[in-house]
Amino acid sequence: MTGVWVNQIVQGILLGGLYAMFALGLSLSAGVMRFINIAHGDLIVLVCFLVLTLTTSLGLSPLVAAAITLPVVFAGGYLLQRLLLQRVLGQHVLPVILVTFGLSIIIQNALQGTYGADTRKVQGGVIEYATIHVAGEINVGVLPLVIFVSAILMVWLLDRLLYRTRIGARIRAVSDDVAAANLIGLPSPHIFALAMGFVGVTIAISAGFMSVWTNFDPTSGPSRLLIAFEAVVLGGLGSLWGTLIGGIILGVAQAVGGQFDAAWQVLAGHIVFLIIFALRPQGLFPRY
């Protein structure tokens, strides 16, 4: 019997990898750049549909399709920041929330108009069903394992980018004090836009994996946003490793809750979030 529970916890940890991936871009925009992107979940779903189109209409494999989306979404993130978000950034917290909220509605409706309201999934082929038998009742899917390892790799790379490179120092500088950055001659609109390009890369990778692992429809964005938010807040603002831990906690809570009763799965995640949030509102590993 314990084997079943251990298995659920293992599955939860792996699911947490996907959640951490969703949250990583948000961790960068909310935790480091310090603005809230309500359309984060919808952007992930938008890229899922992009992958779907590339795989179905061009017959590409999901891996190739995801690789194609990487530079596209990097450029998209750059332009979104440079042409739209940059105009409202720094005035007040509210305008950015309103603009991204509007963007969220536009994306959902555009997707519904183009693809209809059906639930979709990208066919991943044999990797979807491959599992590794670990011990007793514990089986690990190859795809979730790949996603989990990729999530850890992404956190590590993004953390190094932010805290070990020159562009990372510039991103933190314009996030700290954009007026001071302007005074000393940093090209802050370009730096913010590059940062959003990196957010785009995390969106593209997580969308690539999500489109193969789970179902999605044009209105799936907000629920992804909610999970991403919870992971970022649980982990503590500004801490990418914290976001990974936050995602894992949510994944485990959902998996264990679902073992009690399938209806409890999503709720269990939210309840665990609320309990930890009440006890430690600054998150587990806050950087600021």
> Interface with other proteins by CB under 8 A: which residues?
166, 169-170, 172-173, 175-177, 179-187, 238, 287-288
Helix axes 166-176, 142-164, angle to 10 degrees: 80
Nearer to other proteins, 136 or 187 (CB): 187
As measured in angstroms, the least distance from the Cβ of 163 to other proteins is: 9
As measured in angstroms, the least distance from the Cβ of 180 to other proteins is: 4
Nearer to other proteins, 156 or 288 (CB): 288
As measured in angstroms, the least distance from the Cβ of 96 to other proteins is: 20
As measured in angstroms, the least distance from the Cβ of 90 to other proteins is: 14
Give the span between the Cα atoms of 36 and 29, in whole angstroms.
7
Number of other CB atoms surrounding residue 85 within 10 Å: 23
Nearer to other proteins, 153 or 167 (CB): 167
As measured in angstroms, the least distance from the Cβ of 238 to other proteins is: 8
Give the span between the Cα atoms of 139 and 144, in whole angstroms.
11
Which single residue is written with the structure tokens 């639930």?
119
Contacts of 215 (CB under 8 A, 6+ apart): 119, 120, 121
Nearer to other proteins, 33 or 73 (CB): 33
As measured in angstroms, the least distance from the Cβ of 176 to other proteins is: 4
Q: How far is CA 203 from CA 39, 49, 105, 148, in A?
A: 11, 13, 18, 15
**β-bridge partners, 216:** 120
As measured in angstroms, the least distance from the Cβ of 263 to other proteins is: 43
Residue type at 240 in one-letter notation: L
Nearer to other proteins, 1 or 184 (CB): 184
Nearer to other proteins, 82 or 121 (CB): 82
Which single residue is written with the structure tokens 């954009």?
178
Phi/psi-derived region of residue 216, left when phi > 0, alpha when psi is between -120 and 50, beta in every other case: beta
DSSP letters, 189-247, are HHHHHHHHHHHHHHHHHHHHHHHHHS-B-TT-HHHHHHHHHHHHHHH-TT-HHHHHHHH
Nearer to other proteins, 32 or 65 (CB): 32
Give the span between the Cα atoms of 172 and 15, in whole angstroms.
30
Nearer to other proteins, 116 or 187 (CB): 187
As measured in angstroms, the least distance from the Cβ of 23 to other proteins is: 20
Report which of 152, 141, 160 is spatially closest to residue 16, judged by C-alpha positions.
152
